[in-house]
Amino acid sequence: MTNSSNQQTGQDSANKVRYVRRLDQLTGLSDEQKQHLQPVSDKYVFRANDYYLKLIDWDDPEDPIKQLIIPREEELNDWGQLDASNEEAVTVGQGVQHKYTDTVLLLCNEVCGAYCRYCFRKRLFMDDNDEVTNDVSEGLRYIQDHPEVTNVLLTGGDPLLMSTRRLAEIFSALREIEHVKIIRIGSKMPAFDPWRVTRDAELQAVFRKYSTSRQRIYLMAHFDHPRELTDAAIEGIDTCIRNGVICVNQCPMIRGVNDDPYVLAEMYSTLSYIGCPPYYLFQGRPTAGNEPYEVPIVQGWNIFQHALRYGSGLARRARFCMSHETGKVEVVGIDDEHIYLRYHQAKDLDDLGRFFVRRRDDKAYWLDQLQPLESTVY
């Protein structure tokens, strides 16, 4: 597998952020803290950059940006699975996933601008993983042979860390497939390194060429906290919009980061104002290493509902979902005894739109922990 961390993005070197890959490079941690966290970093790799690290208030032990990017000892707790949504079951080729009828995922890069500690695909960054490939030719052939596929998501890893030339090649190849109408890019680069977009005129030209009035490119941004929405980040989103890309935001509920209705509402409002409205709020998947970042379903739903009271109408379009093995399960309501759910997307088309009910459990983190009602038919 190609080491895509060595790929050139098309930026002038003077405008690049400086990457930090070792805990001993962090001036904000004591030597004792670095020593305690090293086993965590050995298991779940650490990566950040100087721009993003400057957003941290190192004097605040509960700083939300620190929670997002700096390892925690609790990550070593025996909890969860590396492939919590069983993506292996929908992998149809190296770097190719086909779970929903009209959508294919191309896992085309194995590196991110930084490594979020809550990542549900952290297995991709381990030494023995071969799920990702920079050669998307197999995926393109698969998409060509499946005319039901209208929507392709470039993910990984972060596609915007690929070279601009390589991105243009992938966009061009997808635009030659008549039944592909939507290209999406899942990326946190506007938060981690907004200059990837704002300082690369070639990338902007590529966006203008392949995001047309009839076939748009969508950026699925990953802002998790309002402090990530710096002037530089907002300029990054604006640059995408001005060059024809439609921007929306999706993120998980993360303990210690956005599990506060006022924080979530502030982020949702700002995102709506800048043209990147919230799309999904995900319930965190029960991924190995993620226990310190998880919020129970009921608590997350209540925070989400409270936050929507303070946001704009655009923010209220967001959905609170679980990316379960069987599909995207939306939480549509909770009362004293029940949790009401609906398949917003489904692996099995017969489930699409299906409404169902589970017993309320305030300690449950995932659909599989919710008990079904014994004799209720909907």
pLDDT of residue 9: 44
pLDDT of residue 311: 78
Q: What is the dihedral of CA 333, 335, 341, 342, to 10 degrees?
A: -50
The residue that leads in pLDDT, 237 or 16, is: 237
Q: 367 burial class (0-12, 13-18, 19+ CB within 10 angstroms)? A: buried
- Percentage of the chain lying above the pLDDT 90 cut: 90
- Residue 348 scores a pLDDT above 90: yes
Radius of gyration of the chain (CA): 20
pLDDT tier, 374 (very low <50, low <70, confident <90, very high otherwise): confident
> 3-class SS at 204?
helix
184: β partners: 153, 218
Q: What is the dihedral of CA 240, 245, 251, 256, to 10 degrees?
A: 10
Query: Which run of H or of E encompasses 146?
Result: none
- What is the average per-residue pLDDT within 190-215? 97
The full DSSP string for 309-353 is: TTS-TTGGG-EEEEEETTEEEEEEEE-SSEEEEEEEEESSGGGTT
284-302, pLDDT tens digit by residue?
999 999 999 999 999 999 9
Q: Quick check: bond before 157 cis, omega within 30?
A: yes
- What is the average per-residue pLDDT within 141-169? 97
pLDDT of residue 129: 79
- What is the average per-residue pLDDT within 192-215? 97
Domains delineated in the chain? 16-76 (no CATH), 87-369 (3.20.20.70)
Question: How many beta carbons lie within 10 A of that of residue 171, not counting itself?
Answer: 20
300-322, pLDDT tens digit by residue?
999 999 999 987 788 899 999 99
User: Cα–chain-centroid distance for residue 2?
Assistant: 22
- Percentage of the chain lying above the pLDDT 70 cut: 95
- Residue 283 scores a pLDDT above 80: yes
- What is the average per-residue pLDDT within 238-247? 98
Mean pLDDT of the chain: 94
DSSP H helices in the chain: 31-43, 50-53, 64-69, 137-144, 164-175, 189-192, 195-198, 201-210, 231-242, 261-273, 297-308
pLDDT tier, 2 (very low <50, low <70, confident <90, very high otherwise): very low
**Maximum Cα–Cα distance across the chain:** 65
pLDDT of residue 127: 74
- Could you tell me which residues come within 8 angstroms of residue 312 by beta carbon, excluding any fewer than 6 positions away? 268, 269, 272, 273
- What is the average per-residue pLDDT within 127-144? 91
Q: Which two tokens stand for residue 251?
A: 């993120």
- What is the average per-residue pLDDT within 57-68? 97
Block residue for tokens 């400086």? 18
pLDDT of residue 313: 84
Please give the model's pTM, rounded to 2 decimal places. Answer: 0.93
pLDDT of residue 8: 38
Question: How many beta carbons lie within 10 A of that of residue 314, not counting itself?
Answer: 16
- What is the average per-residue pLDDT within 79-87? 96
Q: Within 13 Å of residue 203, how many CA atoms lie on the same side as its CB?
A: 25
pLDDT of residue 15: 58
d(CA 376, CA 361): 18
The residue that leads in pLDDT, 375 or 113, is: 113
- Residue 202 scores a pLDDT above 60: yes
- Residue 157 scores a pLDDT above 90: yes
Q: Which two tokens stand for residue 274?
A: 């800048």
Query: 131, 94 in Cβ contact below 8 A?
Result: yes
pLDDT of residue 126: 85
